[in-house]
Each structure stands twice: as C-alpha cells, then as structure tokens.
Structure 1
Amino acid sequence: MRMEQADRPVALVSGSTSGIGEAVARRLAGDGMRVVVHSRRSAEAGQALAAELGGAYVRADLAVEEEARGLVEAALGQYGRLDVLVNNAGISWPIPHDDLAAATPADWRQLLEVNLIAPWVLCTAALPALRESPVGGSIVNVTSHAGVRPKGSSVPYAASKAALNHVTRLLAAALGPEVRVNAVAPGLVDTPMTKDWAHAHELWRDRAPMRRPAQPADVADLVASVIASTYLTGEVIVMDGGLNLT
C-alpha cells in the first residue's frame, strides 16, 4: 500500500547536490522518503534536484552556526517532521602528512568546523524532531576510512573524521532507543572532489580486492541499508573495497 504524502518519512541530507550526497538523496527518495536537499553554493543544481525528487532545497553555510540550525528549521517548516539526518557535507584538500608546517591552525579550524562541529550542530538541532519520529529517528554520519586507519588527504582531515566516528558512538549510547546513530566510512569514492587524486585511484586499482574506488551509488546503498536496519546503532562501517585487508 502506498503511503500518503504526509506519512512519508523526511530525510535531510547535507551536501547533497553532487557526489555521495546526491546519490544518497536519490536513493532515499527512491525508497519513498521526502528529501531535503542542501548545499553551500550550487543553488540552481539544488533546486533542480529537489524538483526532480519532489523534495525541497535549502542553501546554508554549515560553518555558520545560525545557518546550520536554520537548515533544520527550514526542513521542519517545510514538512513538520524529520526522521533521518545524513551528515554528508564535508571538505578536504591534500596536505602531505609529513609536512607539519603546511597544516596550519587555519586549516585545522576550517576542517574541524565543517567536518565535526557542523554535524554536531545539526544533530543537536534535529534531535527533538528525531526523537518524535513515528518510525524511529536515524542519524548517519558519512565519515572516512581515514578516521579509522592512518590515511587520508591530510592529518587534520583524518583527525576530523576520527573524531566524528567517536562522536557517532557516544551519541548512539546517549540517544537510544529513540534515535539510532551510525557512521559509514568510505575509502576513495569516485566523485568530482577526488577526480584529480591520481595516486589514490592507482592505489585502489592495484591493491584493493575490488580493484576500483567506490561509486557514489555504492555508498548510498549502504547508507540506505543502515537507515533501514532498525536495530543497528553505534557502528562505524568501513567501506573501502577491502583495501583495509592489504
């Protein structure tokens, strides 16, 4: 039986106009959810995607606390409920791990602000609505295998993702049973952000058992499965095509 429009769960996916976030938004909409699309720029792309999916679009700079909280408020204003929060938005740029001087305090602050503090703000803003979800609230943090292994585009980036992995576990312990909190930690994903990372692409082709990086749809499938699994909480699921085995 098809759900009535007002009965369909609502998912907010941050950073969802390209790459992993777009794939997640499309998958959740295909699963019957009403999706709130978000970006910091790309308003035209966001509006087009939201129209295609029958959802809504909100522009917000997540490094600004008021705008991050406003994103949740806009989602609630549009639909009156929020059942799923996918913290996908993140930033990264290459800094050699052994070049300590190159990883400046400004780099640290910017990466932590967007990759760690912004998801925390969204979680806290969304929590009352998630607790009231008739289907059970779910938070999925998109982190990175760099938060599990000594890898990644930079030390500050890896540290931000490691911190978000641990926050995932802490929140799962604190918020259950009303709200489940999990993380999906991909390795290399073939997105516009990583298209010039030639060494990483070579590494995955040569050493990962799957012999390729993930596609955004691969990550979206896992995110959707985590949301659908109503007993799963506190898990950080590494998805790197088996590179962790080598």
Structure 2
Amino acid sequence: MTAHRITADGAHFAFTDRWGGVSAVPYDSLNLGGAVGDEPAAVAANRERAAGSLGRDPARVVWMNQVHGSEVAVVDRPWGDGPVPAVDALVTDRAELTLAVLTADCLPVLLADPVAGVAAAAHAGRPGLVAGVVPAAVAAMTGLGAEPARISAVFGPAVCGKCYEVPEALRAEVAAVVPEAYAETSWGTPAVDIAAGVRAQLARAGVPAAGGPGICTLESADHFSYRRDRTTGRLAGYVWLDGRP
C-alpha cells in the first residue's frame, strides 16, 4: 500500500503502489484518483485505507484538481464540501494537514523545510515542468519562511527518461526551456526526462538534490502507468510535518 516511506528531521514523505485497495479491474486495486472512471465509493475507501496506513486523518488530507499548470495554492484547512481548486501544487505551514498529489507517470515532487514548518506537494508532468510548477512551489514555500538550502525534496515513482518517448519537435520544445530534460529512450528515440529537468530546476532554486525510490512506472507492474495502460488508476504521494495527525 504505502510502499515507500521516508522520514527526515521531522518531515514525512510516502508513496503508494497499486495494491491493497478495493477497486476492480482496470483500477485494481488501490486507485486513489477520483476522476478516472472508478466507483466513487471505492476511491473513498482506498483514500481512507491509504491515510490510515500512514497514521493520518483522511479528512485532513488535501487533494488537488490537477490541470498540468503552474498554479500553487497555499492551504490552511481542508477544502470541505467546497470545490477543489485547479492547481498543481499545494503548500502549507499546518502540521495537522497532509498534502497529496496524484500521478500515473508524471513526477510527484514532495518538499519540506521542517525548521520553518513548511511543506509542499507538486504534480510535475511535461507541461508542468515547462511551466515551472516546482520552482513556483519553492517560491511559495519561501514566502512562508522556508529556506531553499533547508528544503528536503523527494521524487516518487514516475516514467523515466529512458521510457518517456516523445516526437523530436516536442523534445526540442521542452529542452529549449529546461535543457537538462533532453533525453533518449533505451531504444534510441527522442525522449524527455522529467526527473532530470525538475532536479535542475531545484538546483537553480538552491534546493539540495532530491531523493526517492527511483521507480519507473511504465516498467513496474506494481504501479499505475497511463502511458502503458491508458485506462488505469492513480498513485498518490503524501507529505506532512511532525505534529498532530
């Protein structure tokens, strides 16, 4: 369920795999995405299970309506019954909140400065990389008192640069903005390396090198992959700070 969990100096990072839930094929079984065609009751049950496995209150997990942009929301409470904003990064200084990001090939980026008590979760696909969603999240964190040199960054499972094949024109378009994302597949065709691009953006922002499990979703049968399966579920990355559950 929460297959990868990292704790560092008062900050907590976790990523799910696809197992341990109640969703039926093709979302089997721990689908946490509410907009992929799965039964809403199954998604709600899966979200409760995942939060419970982390010792977190599912009612205090904050989700996003992800749109592949660069908008950031600073949050101090759950959305409740209101609309979920269309953003691709969340930032908070509230320890009682858990921030969540959904992915199925895009890169989940979790950030935390425990000294300042500030955390962030960002959804970095190819459009978000180009738009600068992760640097925008870092900027929002610094606005709440975080210092880039103190920020811990953790990347979750995502399609790797050796598998993310794109047309040559698209690779050139991305590389014109983030040169470090220029890549080639293992079979010799144009590709984009999202993780390399985000890592470079973080370095330019003064954030130390990111850690994480280093799993390629397209290659791993234990993880959802949109590029591999099209109709499928969504993984989640979670970040929170020491404090109330």
Q: TM-score, normalised by structure 1?
A: 0.40
Q: Which has the higher contact order (CA 8 A, sep 6+)?
A: 2
Structure with bigger strand share is 2
Q: TM-score, normalised by structure 2?
A: 0.40
Structure with bigger helix share is 1
